[in-house]
Amino acid sequence: MIEAVIFDLDGVLIDSEQTWNSAREQLVRERGGTWREEATREMMGMSSPEWSRYMRDSLGVDMEPEEIAAEVVRRMEALYREHLPIVDGARDAVAALSAHWRLGLASSANRRLIELVLELAGMREHFAAAVSAEEMAHGKPAPDVYLEAARRIGVQPGLCAAVEDSTNGLRAAASAGMLVIAVPNREFPPTEEAVALAEVVLESLDQLRPELLLRLGRRAR
């Protein structure tokens, strides 16, 4: 049985991984660091304190982590206000599911960016709670952000479905004991091992309809 659905944000509702990648890479190069091809994958799912320390310690950005995070978020806000890269089908999926279940958001993005995206996308009213990994002790793949989202909406984790796109996100949702729905990121696809944790794998959010959740809920009884 499913009583709530918890969404990831980046890569699921907004096609933002390339935007994050550009903002971070630009700052690394401007501040004398060395960008690495694997950096994007390694930072996916990290909380703000985690990825800002990674940028300083592993990529050589000569700034304090708090300064790094603030500057990246500032650049992201500007890019979102110019153009919000919302995923096709995201608004329809959120609206359709919210008519049947309580919705939560479990994101690695900073709180300011979460609130901005929900405002610009016109989705805020659909979510009972939104949690940022920067509020948790550990980012994804730890389950903290998913467990907190379930707590805030008042539903046991085992009665929640989680919608994820990345390796660390899929692992986090599975570790939280949730029924996992994978919508794999096309630019930065998750590992086969992570995808195997999902109950179902979708090609797009157009397939995420109430009928699917009802079938999955009956199967999980």
**How far is the C-alpha of 152 from the C-alpha of 149, rounded, in Å?**
5
Same domain, 163 and 144: yes
Q: Which residues face 4 on adjacent strands?
A: 102, 160
103 and 178 in a common domain? yes
Q: How confident is the prediction along the chain (221 residues), in pLDDT tens digits per residue?
A: 899 999 999 999 999 988 998 999 999 999 999 999 899 888 988 888 999 999 999 999 999 999 999 999 999 999 999 999 999 999 999 999 999 999 999 999 999 999 999 999 999 999 999 999 999 989 999 999 999 999 999 999 999 999 999 999 999 999 999 999 999 998 889 999 999 999 999 999 999 999 999 999 876 65
CATH of the domain at 175: 3.40.50.1000
124 and 212 part of one domain: yes
Which pLDDT value is given to residue 220? 62
The span from the CA of 214 to the CA of 39, in Å, is 38
> Total structural domains in the chain?
2
Give the integer Cα–Cα distance in Å for 19 and 17.
Answer: 5
Give the model's pLDDT for residue 221.
Answer: 54
Q: Of 28, 63, 82, which residue constitutes the final position of a domain?
A: 82
What is the pLDDT at residue 184? Answer: 96
Catalytic option among 8, 15, 144, 165: 8
Three-state SS string over 159-184 comes to: HEEEEECCHHHHHHHHHCCCEEEECC
pLDDT of residue 64: 96
| Domain CATH number, residue 25 | 1.10.150
Q: Within this chain, do residues 31 and 140 fall inside the same structural domain, yes or no?
A: no
Closest CA to 14 of 84, 93, 119, 82: 84
Does 211 lie in the same domain as 126?
yes
144 burial class (0-12, 13-18, 19+ CB within 10 angstroms)?
A: buried
Of 50, 82, 114, at which residue does a domain stop? 82
Contact between 174 and 168 under an 8 Å Cβ cutoff? The reply is no
157, 68: one domain:
no
- In a shared domain, residues 207 and 104: yes
10 annotated active-site: yes
Domain limit, last residue, from 82, 106, 131:
82
Q: Where in the sequence is the domain holding 44, given as residue range(s)? A: 17-82
CB-based burial, 163-199: b 16+ in 10 Å, e otherwise:
bbbbbbbbbbbbbbbbbbbbbbbeebebeeebbebbe
* CA neighbor of 27 nearest in space, from 13, 43, 8: 43
Same domain, 93 and 75: no
